[in-house]
Chain A
Amino acid sequence: MSLTILQKQDLDSFVRKLMLDYRVVGPVATDGRFAFEVITDPAELRLDYPTTILPPKKFLLPTKEVLFKFDNTDGGSIEAPPLDPPTVILGVHTCDVHAIQLLDAVFDTGYADPNYLSRRNRTLIVSIECLTPCDENSFCKSMGTLSADEGFDLHLTDLGDTYTVDTGSEAGEALLGQCKICHTASQEEIKRLNQVLNEKWPKFPYRLEFDISDLPSLLSMNMKSPLWNELGERCLACAACTNVCPTCFCFDVRDEVEFDLKHGARVRNWDSCQLDEFATIGDGHNFRKSRALRQRHRFMRKGKYILDAHHHLGCVGCGRCARACLVNITPVGVFNELYKQSEAGS
């Protein structure tokens, strides 16, 4: 599809136009950090953000969502919740684009999850090319997520005064059709885009000491590594890592009752395999009692189990968990340590 140019000065009016038909979500500054929020004024948008506290996942799989409302007055009746409005998420980094592709696969495999999919089907992704590393914790280049060939409806690249806009879907093309101020890129602009893309690549370091294709077998070989116990000793089981993760999708379902004890809602909340009770059954038996086993489970999911099941890695290298961890447990640290141990042992 053709490449389009949007002048930066016209972004404001393009977003205002989107806001007529969509709930528009994008990165905004919040207390010195950044977060994806619903945009009420395009001037709030900060497409130059390094990273956000939570990934845009929260608009597809909300931290808490109502599955249904119930009324217990007369034998019990249930009612579907209202749907979220059609949404455009602006400024999604390519690591998060990869994460959303994984979530799409997860929720569309086996039993299709109606809540996620109906929300996803009404959400458009406008991603943006990262031109500099967000900080020392990101390792997108090692994970193969420094670019995205698909998974977006539109994709922006900052050329200084202008954005180039790649089209990734028919829906994206229709969206761009509303942009009367955009124009097709000239040969000069295409050349400038290629230059920017070429220049960005060396700015990002490889942070894993081995090739990512070796990660699943590395993890398989290390089921019994002493490293898991070391992590277990350090881990506070606070679940910050899974709470900020763009690919974590485990949830809990519980009922919330109103004060009249008759009305209420069944809600699903994000949950975490790092929490003590996650694998505990009714009689109190906990199948993953130690923090070491819970950390192992987390990293096995990220680097192997999810890949085996869905053909997408469960880690996209965004670095959020590394930033959130209070005891400095990081995927880069863990994966490199396993690699070093296996090299030393072989």
Chain B
Amino acid sequence: MFRKSKVVLIFITIIMIILAGCSSGTNTSTEGTQNSEGDASGSTSIAEKFNMAMGAQPPSLDPHISTAIATRDIAMQVFETLVTIDKDYKPVPMLAESIDVSEDGKTYTFNLRQGIKFHNGKEMTSEDVVASMNRFVEKSGATKVLLDGAVFKADGDYKVILDVPNPSTLIMTSLAARSPMPAIMPKEVIESAPAEGINEYIGTGPLKFVEWKQDQYIKLTKNDDYQPLETESNGQAGKKEVFIKDFYIHFVPDTSTQVAGLQTGEYDLLLEAPNDNYELLANDPSLGTSINDYGPYNLIFNKHKGIFTNADMRKAINAGINSEEILRTSFMHEDIYELDPSYMSPQSADWYSDAGKEYYNQNDPEKAKEWLEKAGYNGEPIKIVTTRDYAHIYNTGVVLQQQLEKIGVKVSLEIYDWPTALNIRNKEPDKWDIFITGTPFVLTPLELYVYTIEAYMDPNNQKVTELLNSIKNAQTEDEAKQKWEELQAYTWEYLPVAKMGNFFKVSAFKDYVKDYKYQEGPILWNIKLTK
């Protein structure tokens, strides 16, 4: 018996050794996950560590190609752009010192800030900017519409010239896009980038990329060589200061674990708190919450195939739905949504408009029935694609089904996982009639997904294209705004989508986290820890 137990013991020891071997591999550093106190050494108090939790890791950290929100949220800490947005969503210089526009509006001259260092120590010059911007123009999707035919070229080390085929008042704004983002990175990184995206994450931003532990965390650290602007901090623009040494961005898929982790102090900030925990978190005296602008929440009609190629059917659904009921059920709390007919953000001073509001949130079943009759609806079931991957999208599907059944429409709720739902949306127009999704706000109407994603567009509608072109080619900002109002009113009339309202995302954080702001993503610089 003794000998046998020795065999078992040896066996266990071998497994432990293998285990130790496995654990070593590529690990570098995790100094536990408890927060350490602010370091009092030095004149400025720099806290050691900040832990943020988010649901999923980004599919890529290449801000030129990926439109994923998780990519944007992390990339914006590391990378900077020639032009960025201030709190009113207006474009202002960041890596450019000044910008001159020629009289014909076809040539932009960017005078670069000198002495700006990349995180690898190399100085940023015009060749890096040209390589970055030309790659962005080539690779990015929605923004491409605005920058079609644009060419960047260097003029000396610190001057970059942009030539555009046609003048547009939107060029500057498109250069401040956040997702995809025209990030400036070293030329060498771009030259060695494989198809699926860059391998090195080297920017000029206030935080430096350190390591990406797959499915665990991304570690960023304070960029000690960062040269902040002298102007006051304003949205994503102005002075950026970092008061914390290391930032760990943890990927925590389970929402209960996220909340428990925040409550126990494992995480200092929860980027997107689950909606059904909002009240619990908001009432917790040891926590703070911030309600962040996010974007429009839409029902998208399939205009390529099926019943909704008939505009009267779309009008019937739009007349019958009760947007408030849908939003309340989907987002759980009235603080997390708002009723609003505008496709552009209420914060966007240049573009916000309520044109077409008479068609919004009608909640008129009788009118809906009239439209159904006019459309010749004969009781065929409507396929609503939804997913359990996002609770709000699933809830919307269920409430919508009830509302539509009330007006006499048969509904079949099609539940898929999210990647499958996206695939069906793009590739299988026979399998869906209504697609539910919320998308982030964009900076110009030309980037609105309803006009850029093929699956959402109406292949037979020329008027939208004409109006988009007239916005792009407008001579003045007022003219562009006027054309946009026309397009928004028309969008409400012909209904490629039915907007239900705006939704917000809630960030929750420990009470010692100060100056946390969110604009098109979490602003991690400027945060202070007072504990």
Asked if chains A and B come from one complex, the reply is no
Chain B contacts to A: CB under 8 angstroms = none
